[in-house]
Chains A and B, each alone.
Chain A
Amino acid sequence: MTTSATVTLERLTKRFRSPDSREVVAVDDVSLDLAGGSFVTLLGPSGCGKTTTLRMIAGFEVPTSGRILVDGHDVSRRTPDKREMGMVFQSYALFPHLSVFENVAYGLRLRRRSGSDLRAAVERTLELVNLHGLGQRRPSELSGGQQQRVALARAMAIEPRVLLFDEPLSNLDAKLRVSLRSEIRRIQQQLGITSVYVTHDQAEAMALSDVVVVMRDGRVEQFGPPDEVYRRPMSRFVADFIGRANFLEAEVVAVEGDSAEVAVLGQRMRVPAADGQRVGETATVVVRPESIRLGSGELRATVRRSTFLGPLVEYELLMGDAVVVAVDPDWMGHGLHGVGEEVACSFRPDQAYVLPPGQSAEVAEVAPVDPDALAPEG
C-alpha cells in the first residue's frame, strides 16, 4: 500500500490554561524519531501528556512550540483533515447514522473514490478486520469488539501515512482486549503503516510495540524496545510502571564497564548497571519478582503472605528488613510455602539492574499482581 512514513517530533510542547487560569504544561519539550513502519506506544499514567501528544500529531491540538515532521515535511500547521493520518478513537466515534459500509467508505468518498472501486476497497478493508458481510449493519447492531474493528477499518481504509490509536481497547473486556491487540499488531505488520498507540496498560504496550515511550508529567522518561526498557529501566518510575519491581538498597563496591559489584542483602554480586555509578555510594538494585528463585540459595526469607494465582504463586517475603515480592511459576514442582515458613532463596544477579544514581530506595512497596497481566496471549 503506502510507503512507510517516518515521523519526527521536534521539541514538542503544549501549554494549556486551566479553568482557574493557571498554566499547565501538558507536554514538555518532547523529541522523538519514529522509524517508518514501526509501532510506537506512548505509555504512562493519566495526565502524563500521552494523549495530548497524539492529538498534536493528529492535528486536534496545536503545539505551543515545536514541530511535527512527516517524511521530513513540517505538518505542524496543517489542519487535521489535510494530514492523511487515520485515527482510532477511544469511544470509536463511529457515525451512528451510517451503516458499517458507509462508515468505512466515508474517508474514501472524500477522496473521490466511487462505484466498484470504492466497493472493492471497502470490502477488502472489512475482510482485513474479519468483518466480511457485516457492511449493511448499523454500528449499534454490533458488539463492542466488532465496533472496534469497524473503527480500525475506517481509519485504515484511507491508506493513511500514519495510524493513530487513542486507548482503543480500554472499553473492552480483558479477553477481547488481548485478542484484538494481537490482531491490531498483525494488521499493522501486514500493511507496514507507521503507528502511534496511546495506552496506560503496560502489558498492551509490551505486547504491541517495537518501541515503548514511557511518559511522565509531560516528559519522555525513557524509550526503547520493550525488552530493553523492561530489563534496563532508567528510573524507579519506569521500573515500577513497566512490569513489577523490587527495589533493594545496595552499596557500590566496584565499577567495571557496564556492570558494578554491589553489596546487597549481605551478599556481594556483580550486577549490570547504569552509567555513572560511584564506588562507596548507595545505589538501588531492581529485582523482578520472577527472577527470585525459591527453595535453594544462600538468602533466608520469611513468608509474610502467599497468594495462589493458578499459573503462579505470589509470595511476600521478609528478607532482613526488606519486603520483597517473588513469584513462583514452578509451585507444582516443589510445593507451596505457608505463611511464617522460612525459605531459602536466591536471585540471578545478571537479571537484576542497578538504577542510575539518585534513585532513592525508601519506599519498596509493590502492587499486587494484576491477573490480567498474566493472561496468555490469545
Chain B
Amino acid sequence: MAIALAIAIGFVLVAIIWPIASMVSVSLTGEAFAVFERYLTPPQGQILINTVILGIVVATIGTLIGFLFAYVQVRVPLPRYLKRFMHLMALLPVVSPPFALALAAIILFGRSGLITRDLLGIPFNIYGLPGLTLVMSLSFFPVAYISLSGLLRALDPALDEAATNLGASRWRTFRTVTLPLLIPGLASSFLLLFVEALADLGNPIVLGGNFQVLASRLYLAIIGQYDLLAGAVLGILLLVPSLIVYFVHRYYAERASVISVTGKPSGRPAELTHRPTAIVLAVAALLVSLLVLLMYATILFGAFTNLVGVDNTLTLKNFAFVLFGYGVEAVTDTVLLAGIATPIAGLIGVIIAFLVVRGRFFGRGALDFGTMLGLAVPGTVFGIGYLLAFNTPTEVGGVTIFPKLTGGAGVLGGAVAIVLVYIVRSAPGGLRSGAAALQQIDPTIEEASVSLGADQSTTFRRVVLPLIRPAFLTGLIYSFARSMTAISAVIFLTTPSTRIMTQQILNETNAARFGNAFAYCVILIVIVCAAIGVLYWIIGSGTRIGRTADPTIAARST
C-alpha cells in the first residue's frame, strides 16, 4: 500500500505536475507579460477568438451528430445490418490517426478535390473554418455518440410510457422527459468536445490555412521559431479554458450518471413509432455514415495509388516505403514505445483507481485530480512543459537527480520522454474505467479475503485484479489506441532517433506525398485494430466476470 502510494504520488508529481508547473513559471516571468499582451490584443488576439469559435462550432455539431447516431441506434427501428454499419462508421475515427480525415477531405473537397472540382465543378476552399468544422466534427462525434447511447439505453423505457400514459404526445414526451434527462449528458459531451477541439493540433496544422488557432500557433512558435516563451504563454491561454471547461464537464458527467432513480428498468426500449421522423433521422445518420465511409475509402484507395485524383495508377510503392523503406523505423518505434507505455499506464491507472476508491488517506481527491490532469490538459501543453522541465538535467547541489530526457541527447534518444507522455495521456482512462469497475465490487468481498488471512497486496492480486480484469484490459485497448494515434504532445518530443508514425504522416503531408501519408494511416489503423482484436481474444478467452466499465466496449458488443 505504501509503495503503491509512493509510486502514484511520484508519477503525478514528476510526470504531470512538474512539466505544467515549469510552463506556468516561465509564463509568469516579466518578459512573458508583453507576450501575453501581444496574444490578447488585435491582431494576434484573433487567434484566441478563432480557437473559441472553432471549439464552439465543433462541439455543437459533433454533439448533434453524436446524439443523432445515439438516438437512431437506440430508438429508431432499423434492420440490424444498418445499425451495425452506422456503429462501425461511428467508431472508425476512434482508431485512426487524428488527421486521416483531414487528408481525405483535402483529396475529396480541396481546391482540386475529386468531388468539389471534378464532380461538381465548384471552386471550394476547404482550408480554414469550414474544412476544420467538417473534419473535426467527424473526428470527435464518436465521443458524444458513445456516452449518449449509453445514457439513452440506461433510460427506463417506463419513463416515456408514464408520460404517454398521463396524456403527453410523442413530441411532448420527448421535450419534457427524454430531453431534460439527457441535458446533463449533452452538456457533458459538448464540453468534452470543446476541450478536444481546443487541444487538437493535427487538423489545424493540415487544414487550418490562414485560420490560426492556439494549438497550431503554438506548434509554429516551438517548431518553427523555437520560441519557448511564446510557447509557454500560448500554452497558458490553452490551459486555463481547457481546465475550467473540463471540470465543469466532470460535474455534469457525474450528474448524468445518476439519472435513473429506482427499480429495475422494465419493458423493451421505447422505439420511435412515428414513421416520417424515424425516416428523416435514419437517412441523416446514414448520410453521415456514408460520408465517413467515403473518406476512409479515399484513404485506402489513396494508399494504393501514386497520387489519388491526379495519377490513379495502382501501386504498392507507398506500402513499400512505409513497411520496408524509410518508414519502417517509425512503425517499429511507435509500436514499441506505445507497447511499453500501455501496460505501465494500465497498471498505474488501476493502482491509482484502487487508492482513490478504497484508500482511507488524506489527499485522495488530489491524487485523482492530479492524474486526471493528464487528460484534461491539452497535449500541446505537455509537449512544451516536457521541453521546459526535462531539456536539462536537474541538479541539486551539483548532483544530477534527474537526467535530461528530451531531445536527441536525452536518455535513450528521447524515448523515455515519449513513453512518459504516452503514460500520462493514457493513465486517466485506466483510472476512470478501473474506478468504475471497483465501485461495482462490494468491499465485503475484499474483507472476506482479509478475514481468511490474506494481506492487502495478496487481496489486490488474487481478488481485486481478477475481478476488474475486463475493465483493465479494456483500459489497455483504449490506452494503446490513444498512444498510437497521439500527436499533440509527442510531436514536440520526437528526435531523429525516435520516429513516430503520426509525426511522419504530418511530414509526408507537408511534403505533399499523400500516398505515403495514406499508407501510414492505413497501417496505423490496421495495427490498432489488430491490437484490439488480440485483446478481445484475451478477454473472450478469460472468465466473464463483472461488467466492462468502458462504454466503447458496451457499445460495441450490442
Q: How far is the CA of A80 from the CA of B172 in the complex (A)?
A: 13
Question: With an 8 A cutoff between CB atoms, is B123 at the interface?
Answer: no
B161 touches A87 (CB 8 A): yes
Could you tell me if A107 and B166 are in contact, using CB atoms closer than 8 angstroms? yes
Task: List 12 contacting pairs A-B, 8 Å CB cutoff, sorted by A.
Answer: A58-B165, A84-B167, A89-B161, A91-B264, A93-B156, A94-B261, A106-B166, A110-B166, A139-B262, A147-B261, A154-B162, A154-B166
Which one of B168, B177, B264 lies within 8 Å of A90 (CB-CB)?
B264
- CB of A275, distance to nearest CB on chain B (Å): 41
A96 B181 Cβ-Cβ under 8 A: yes
CB contacts (< 8 Å) of A60 on chain B: these are 161, 164, 267
Chain A residues with CB under 8 A of B258 = 140
* Residues 265-320 (chain A) with a chain B CB within 8 angstroms: none
Report the minimal beta-carbon distance from A189 to chain B, rounded to whole angstroms. Answer: 23
- Residues 101 to 156 of chain A near chain B (Cβ within 8 Å): 106-107, 110-111, 139-140, 144, 147, 154-155
Which chain A positions have C-beta within 8 A of B164?
59-60, 79-81
Nearest B residue to A102 via CB reads B176
Question: Chain A's nearest CB lies how many Å from the CB of B261?
Answer: 5
B533 in contact (CB, < 8 A)? no
A-B contacts counted at CB < 8 A amount to 95
- Contact A166/B169 with A93-B159, A93-B161, A95-B162 known, Cβ cut-off 8 Å: no
Residue pair B263, A90 in contact (C-beta under 8 Å): yes
Whether, in the assembled complex, A171 has its beta carbon less than 8 Å from a beta carbon of chain B, the answer is: yes
Does A97 lie at the interface of the complex (its beta carbon under 8 Å from any beta carbon of B)? yes
In the complex, what residues of B have CB within 8 A of residue A58's CB? 161, 165
Whether B553 is near chain A, meaning CB under 8 Å from some CB there, is no
The docked-state distance in angstroms from the alpha carbon of A93 to that of B157 is 8
User: Of B177, B259, B265, which contacts A91 at CB under 8 A?
Assistant: B265
A80 CA / B273 CA spacing, docked (Å): 13
Q: Does B266 count as interface, using CB distance less than 8 angstroms?
A: yes
Beta-carbon contacts under 8 Å, B72-124 to A? none
Do residues A171 and B264 form an inter-chain contact, with CB atoms below 8 A? Answer: yes
Closest chain A CB from B154 CB (angstroms): 11
A61 to B59, CA, bound (A): 39
> Shortest Cβ distance from B298 into chain A, in angstroms?
38
The answer for the CA separation of A95 and B262 in the assembled complex, in Å, is 10
What chain A residues lie within 8 Å of B263 (beta carbons)?
89-92, 171
* Residues of A close to B163: CB separation below 8 A: 95, 106
The minimal Cβ–Cβ distance linking A166 to chain B, given in whole angstroms, is 7
Closest CB pairs A-B (n = 3):
A91-B263, A107-B166, A93-B158
Shortest CB distance B44–A (Å): 44
Query: Bound complex: CA of A132 vs CA of B231, how far in Å?
Result: 62
**Contact (Cβ within 8 A) A96 B259:** yes
Interface contact A96-B165, CB-CB below 8 Å: no
**Please, which residues of chain B bring their CB within 8 A of the CB of A111?**
167
Alpha-carbon separation in the docked complex, A181 to B156 (Å)? 24
For chain B, the bracket of interface size reads 20 to 34
CA distance A211 to B166 in the complex (A): 26
A140 in complex: contacting residue of B166, B167, B176, B261, CB < 8 Å: B261
Contact A107 B167 (CB under 8 A): yes
Q: Which residues of A contact B177 (CB under 8 A)?
A: 95
Asked if A81 and B165 sit within 8 Å, CB to CB, the answer is yes
Q: How far is the CB of B6 from chain A (nearest CB, A)?
A: 39
Contact yes or no, A147 B262, CB < 8 A: yes
- In the complex, A59→B264 CA distance in Å? 21
CB distance from B264 to the nearest CB of A (A): 6
Question: Shortest CB–CB separation between residue B225 and chain A, in angstroms?
Answer: 52
For residue B260, CB closer than 8 A to chain A, the reply is: yes
Q: Chain B residue with minimal CB distance to A80?
A: B164
Q: How many Å lie between the Cα of A96 and that of B183 in the bound state?
A: 13
Tell me whether A325 is interfacial, beta carbon within 8 Å: no
In contact, B262 and A144 (Cβ under 8 angstroms): yes
Given A87-B162, A90-B266, 4 more pairs with CB closer than 8 A:
A80-B165, A91-B263, A95-B159, A96-B259
Bound CA–CA A293/B309 (angstroms): 97
Chain B residues near A139 (CB, 8 Å)? 261-262
A58, A94, A96 pick with most chain B CB within 10 angstroms: A96
B443 within 8 A of A: no
The residues of A that contact B265 with a CB separation of less than 8 Å are: 91
Point out the residues of chain A lying under 8 angstroms from B166, CB to CB. Answer: 81, 86, 106-107, 110, 154-155, 158
Residues of B within 8 A of A107 (CB): 166-167
* Chain A residues with CB under 8 A of B168: 81, 106, 110
Which residue of chain A is the closest to B263 with respect to CB atoms? A91
Known: A95-B162, A140-B258. A81 touches B169 (CB 8 A): yes
B276 to chain A, nearest CB (A): 16
Q: Nearest Cβ distance between residue B428 and chain A, in whole angstroms?
A: 28
Is B162 within 8 A of A89, CB to CB?
A: yes
- B180 interfacial contact with A, CB 8 Å: yes
Min CB gap A378→B, angstroms: 22
- Does B266 lie within 8 Å of A96, measured CB to CB? no
A58 to B158, CA, bound (A): 12
What are the residues of chain A within 8 A of B267 when measuring CB–CB? 55, 60
Q: B167 — which chain A residues lie within 8 A by C-beta?
A: 81-82, 84, 107, 110-111, 158
Q: Which of A66-90 contact B (CB under 8 A)?
A: 79-87, 89-90
Residues of B within 8 A of A94 (CB): 162, 261-262
Which residue of A86, A89, A111, A140 has the most chain B CB atoms within 10 A of its CB atom? A89
CA of A106 to CA of B166, assembled, Å: 8
A96 touching B260 in the complex, CB below 8 Å, given contacts A91-B266, A158-B167: yes
0 or 1 for each of B245-272: is its CB under 8 Å from A? (1 = yes)? 0000000000000111111111100000
A103 to B, closest residue via Cβ: B162
Q: Is the CB of A91 within 8 A of B156?
A: yes
Among A89, A93, A110, A154, max chain B CB count under 10 A is at: A93
Q: Which of B180-227 contact A (CB under 8 A)?
A: 180-181
Question: How many whole Å from A169's CB to the nearest CB in chain B?
Answer: 11
Which residues of B are found within 8 Å of A59, using beta-carbon distances? Answer: 164-165
**Chain B residues whose C-beta falls within 8 Å of the C-beta of A171 in the assembled complex:** 262-264
Query: Which of A80, A83, A86 is within 8 Å of B161, CB to CB?
Result: A80
For A155, the chain B residues whose CB sits under 8 A away are 165-166
- A86 contacts B165, C-beta separation under 8 Å: yes
Are the CB atoms of B158 and A91 closer together than 8 Å? yes
Q: Hey, which chain B residues are within 8 Å of A79, CB to CB?
A: 164
Considering the complex, give the chain A residue whose CB is closest to the CB of B157. Answer: A93
- CB-CB under 8 A from A147, the residues of chain B are 261-262
